[in-house]
Amino acid sequence: MTKNSRLKTILEDAIVSGEFSPGDRLDEVTLAARFGVSRTPIREALMQLGAEGLIEIRPRRGAVVSVISPHKLLEMFEAMAEIEAGCARLAARRMTEEDEAAIRAAHAACTKAAATGDHDGYYEENRVFHEAIYRASHNAFLAEQAIQLHKRLGPYRRLQLRARQRLPTSLAEHQGVVDALMAGDADLAAQRLRDHVVVQGERFSDMVMALGAA
């Protein structure tokens, strides 16, 4: 991995982890000093993040972490729900013993994080859980699309977990998905993962409110 690629990855992780929130300005001079590099590799990394939609390059303001409108955010979660449902459907039919073990291990890690109320830890284990299902689909292209959109929605999925009682609810939904996958019920696995990901009604309102408070 080149230095520029590492910088892009570090900045990308900082955005997805919530270190930089939607609307935050990413100053080239400050970032260059932080990472001990010139402004050129920082500028190149920011341009790459801009191409992915994680940040916006605005006149006179420079790079700003993207803020998605509620309408577009709802559309993106709908698309994410359908993509993940497709992964679950294929995983229920195609997963190997190794895939099954990875999914169970990821769910166990989520359970441990939820038991301690560790929202950040749960978010990371949740990512591992979902990616285990993507891989179990044995459709590399579909998994790649799922990972990219999951990453794009990372800051908002993190906020969603802060809603009251969302952690235990999310874990219970995971259990339902796992049960359907292990039973080989493709339709049920797809429906449960779709319902788990999509945000509607009060859940969507709660996330928008959390975004405004962030």
pTM over 0.85: no
* pLDDT band at residue 214 under the 50/70/90 scheme: very low
- Domain boundaries, given as residue ranges, for the chain: 3-65, 70-213
Q: Judge whether 3-65 and 70-213 match in fold.
A: no
Spatial CA neighbour of 174 closest among 102, 132, 126? 126
pLDDT tens readout for residues 101-134: 999 999 999 999 999 988 888 988 999 999 999 9
CB-based contact 188:137 (threshold 8 Å)? no
Using the predicted structure, report yes or no on whether residue 164 has a pLDDT greater than 80: no
Is domain 3-65 given the CATH code 1.10.3720.10 in the classification?
no
* Angle in degrees, CA 58, 212, 206, rounded to 5: 135
Rounded (10°) angle between helices 97-115 and 119-136:
170
Q: What distance in Å separates the CA atoms of residue 113 and residue 126, rounded to the nearest whole number?
A: 10
What integer is the mean pLDDT of 59-78? 84
The residues pairing with 62 across neighbouring beta strands, listed in sequence order, are 58
Q: What distance in Å separates the CA atoms of residue 110 and residue 176, rounded to the nearest whole number?
A: 14
Q: Write the class of the CATH domain 70-213.
A: mainly alpha
Spatial CA neighbour of 129 closest among 147, 116, 144, 148? 147
